[in-house]
Structure 1
């Protein structure tokens, strides 16, 4: 009996769901981590910001290696699955009821390794599913990005509530660690679901997926991974070492791009150059993005009225960390709208370039930070309305979808297939660099221990947010200014006379929103 081919939508759904559960774990942990470091490990805000910034940088940097492991050693599907298992172990380690800083560093080290294996290979599978149709790649990665935010939306609501509820019933320490444990449980559920659906990906992957696993290669990967856990923990203990590692990584990534562009085929050079320019823009965007877990999180702790009211009628209160969830809620609401717009414009042949979408994204982010900054004008007793946070996050999230949501699509569109996994990883290294830089920027809003007046802390935070708003305007102007160059590079990359696409285009009707 002939096996019926698996639809692209079913294959996409399998990756979509494992990504959703993986992000459930990651963001459930992230939403609490800076506050945990301050309240349970005794860090001041600047140290907590920098330790998390360094951890985030490492979490985003290791995919450069994980993508290569998936492409060349273990296979894309296998490496993604290994990453999910390692991540579940990392979150389970945070479940251990210990407030020892080194246990936290080791747990974050395991998470660093797991994310390195998972993230680039999950993205690379989506790229392979829709390879050959540029309009559908944009839509697919926008929906894929929505998966990230469905998972995070659930966990960023749940874990702060679980921490408070369990803490009130059984003690504060147990509340914190149970909340982290839920992140591990969620990923285990995702792995069970993946095992039931993995057949839909049997035809998608790298050549290594179709070959037996070499025990020598597997052992080498395991040893390097174990060493990486301890190296990461060591780096997190020292702000100086973390800083040097981040800046060195930036130089290395730039060197790799330059080397690949110089050594590439003539028909690949324009696409790689476009990818480099957009990657640099992405670094600037993620400096803004890093504020969510740092300055915006701490702003909600000190200077936001936690009550949601409409026309004077009280609806409910939120826990301060839950305001980070507004980002995910807006992403889930806006993603289908943008997919519809992309598909509609694509059918008319008027889909804006990724470079144009990046420019619009920076403009939205700038307006979002001005919303936070100028919201102080309506503050009462040093506290801004929760609705200011809602609309600020709405603009911020629209910008994120237009920039970060299409960052992976940019790699898929402009980077040759033979470099796909590695360049997906290199993109994440760039994101990691900006995560650390974002924590450095967040420390502009350091609140000394002797400041307890909310009016003073409000002034410090809004000063930072207004600075970020003006920087966002500058990024928008630069993005608009280089549009002619980007359009030229994109046209050269797409020119059939100089570029060869070996795969047939995907019919637009084959993509259905899952």
Structure 2
């Protein structure tokens, strides 16, 4: 396609818009979920953190199945469509929880399945639209990552205020409307993708089993499996063990796959695997935005700024807003970013330490009521946003660049699976900062001390992480730098 030579090709604009609305639906729900569980349903911090983390972990574990189905049967485009449909059904259930509480777990499981089918495949779809050596490829990935954060900003503000003013179910419903807009737009303008992302087996896709095409069978299977996952969310300990088993199994399969590749391909995937381990550690802390940091904001941050009361859920907009601001800077200096990509990854790890040290300093300077100035929260989350922009686009880009062409879906699934384990690790982090309540009430001075001690420990952990990464720096830098000049 001629449009591939443009800095902002039509397929990039279209996929950015679709992913923007998918992120709108996800972040709208994420901004509300833990607050809804603790304040409306009366769950303890620990229970709310567990549900939130397992829900998010499921959404990031399923992409390995979604990637396999895309590579071996359906193609990236069909998987994006299927994921969108399932997510809309999940948001519909969440909007009805007020009237039927039993729909909570079903809604979460549907959203998790839909997210898993959608997320990795839309990234691979973008990758397939670019040529491997396209000079605008790296710029496209960064701008794609920036563009989708517009959806996160809109969701955090609009869903947060709608839930605050009219009720939780309206906030969840608005998130579902966002996904519907994205899906309709994808169906209308998918011709901009040309032949990219189509099923590798079109004849098989048109076959019918019991009168139903393959797409319909996979869709029905997704809905049926949601009831199983819903039961597992209720029995969280069993579900956690099962996810760990899946992760170990996937790791074993991945090691076997690597062993069958050429020496050069193995070298590339080993470098990618190291990046993914640190990527996992970073996002174990980033995932705390929707749970731990959200409750800290609700309880111990002054929510009146310039005379305006800001609901805690609105703070979720700070992260994507900072990503957009820093992202445009990175887009302007893209040549610098490409040359020093590994250094920027190191910077990303360091900024997470700065984030939690800033929150710690904020706690040290709290008022007599145990409340922290909102400015500390803005600075801390902005550090996190800068770190995310340094780390996530690089890993996503290298997952599609370093992997052999016939394994890109599976490799992207592995990257998403690492985010599942980020959430499981996040359970442990958030649990040691859980705040006990007495008759449903929180002592803000007590919660401040718990958060303060926890923020300091997390900051120190991140500094240690940076030191460990420096041991692998030269090896990863060589592989990443050479990847744009070699082909699988």
Both structures adopt the same fold (TM-score exceeding 0.5): yes
SS in 2 for 1:400: helix
Work out whether residues 134 and 413 of structure 1, in 8 Å CA contact, stay in contact via their aligned partners in 2. no
Counterpart in 2 of 1:293?
290
**Residues of 1 paired with 2:2 and 2:201: CA distance?**
19
Equivalent in 343, 348, 352 of residue 365 of structure 1: 352
Equivalent in 437, 444, 456 of residue 446 of structure 2: 456
Counterpart in 1 of 2:334?
342
Counterpart in 1 of 2:126?
126
**Residues of 2 paired with 1:344 and 1:444: CA distance?**
40
Equivalent in 163, 173, 180 of residue 172 of structure 2: 180
**Residues of 2 paired with 1:492 and 1:397: CA distance?**
28
Structure 1 residues 430 and 466: CA distance shift in structure 2, 3 A: same
**Residues of 2 paired with 1:119 and 1:412: CA distance?**
14
Counterpart in 1 of 2:405?
417
Give the paired residue count. 477
Task: Report the Cα offset of residue 461 of structure 1.
Answer: 0.6
Q: CA offsets, 1:171-230, max 9 Å, x none? A: xxxx11111111111121222222332210122114437555333433542343233212
Q: 1:49-68, aligned counterparts within 5 Å?
A: 49-68=49-68
Work out whether residues 137 and 412 of structure 1, in 8 Å CA contact, stay in contact via their aligned partners in 2. no
Q: TM-score, normalised by structure 1?
A: 0.88
Structure 1 residues 335 and 430: CA distance shift in structure 2, 3 A: same
Task: Report the Cα offset of residue 323 of structure 1.
Answer: 1.0
Structure 1 residues 345 and 359: CA distance shift in structure 2, 3 A: closer
Q: Which moved more, 1:195-204 or 1:287-296?
A: 195-204
Work out whether residues 363 and 448 of structure 2, in 8 Å CA contact, stay in contact via their aligned partners in 1. yes
Work out whether residues 76 and 209 of structure 1, in 8 Å CA contact, stay in contact via their aligned partners in 2. no
Structure 1 residues 407 and 134: CA distance shift in structure 2, 3 A: farther
Structure 1 residues 219 and 476: CA distance shift in structure 2, 3 A: same
Q: Which moved more, 1:315-324 or 1:389-398?
A: 315-324
Which residues of structure 1 form unaligned runs of 5+? 167-174, 309-313, 502-514
Work out whether residues 356 and 480 of structure 1, in 8 Å CA contact, stay in contact via their aligned partners in 2. no
Structure 1 residues 233 and 97: CA distance shift in structure 2, 3 A: closer
Counterpart in 1 of 2:309?
317
RMSD: 2.0
**Residues of 1 paired with 2:12 and 2:30: CA distance?**
26
Structure 1 residues 345 and 43: CA distance shift in structure 2, 3 A: closer
Is 2:246 aligned against 1:255?
Answer: no
Task: Report the Cα offset of residue 337 of structure 1.
Answer: 0.8
SS in 1 for 2:308: strand
Task: Report the Cα offset of residue 5 of structure 1.
Answer: 4.4
Q: CA offsets, 1:98-120, max 9 Å, x none? A: 36553110011111221122111
Counterpart in 2 of 1:506?
none
**Residues of 2 paired with 1:246 and 1:301: CA distance?**
31
Q: Which moved more, 1:40-49 or 1:192-201?
A: 192-201
SS in 1 for 2:136: helix
Work out whether residues 78 and 199 of structure 2, in 8 Å CA contact, stay in contact via their aligned partners in 1. no
Following superposition, which runs of at least 4 residues in structure 1 exceed 6 angstroms of deviation?
none
SS in 1 for 2:132: coil
Work out whether residues 88 and 188 of structure 1, in 8 Å CA contact, stay in contact via their aligned partners in 2. yes
Structure 1 residues 103 and 466: CA distance shift in structure 2, 3 A: same
Equivalent in 472, 475, 481 of residue 485 of structure 1: 475
Task: Report the Cα offset of residue 284 of structure 1.
Answer: 0.4
Work out whether residues 372 and 392 of structure 1, in 8 Å CA contact, stay in contact via their aligned partners in 2. yes
Q: TM-score, normalised by structure 2?
A: 0.93
**Residues of 1 paired with 2:206 and 2:262: CA distance?**
32
